[in-house]
Structure 1
């Protein structure tokens, strides 16, 4: 496996994680989707994927503010986009 293949795979992994975070965030806006069994199972799966990324950000944010809006998904997306740029610079 060449380094460009590893870089491409990492780049795409970060891309998929960004979309998973976006989909999970949109699902919280629609309680009717969340109340169904299939919606709840999908949401739980998305939480298992995104919680390791969002939990450290969320715990760090709650030290400084405890407002009603959770900005950790947005910050996680920004961090993932930054990591994508770093991967491009390293594996180019």
Structure 2
């Protein structure tokens, strides 16, 4: 089982995947709307990046709830890569013209 800090988690979690803290008290899911709470009284609400979350360690997992996101995951990943490529090409074009 691999553990991540919050910053690492944000970089690697994929659409539909869930992550939980070491104590299992907090579980989040990556959706097209961003990172949202997967359980508890805040279920479905966006996760605010608050100081206490930065000290937690998270592990990523998938369950039955994750399966509904699989068809969208590949398309979402493709769009994300296209945006990054476009940003790089724009940055490169600006740099060349300077």
TM-score bracket, shorter-length normalisation? 0.3 to 0.5
TM norm structure 1 = 0.34
Compare relative contact order (CA 8 Å, sep 6+) and give the higher one, 1 or 2: 1
* Alignment TM-score, normalising by the size of structure 2: 0.32
Higher strand share: 2
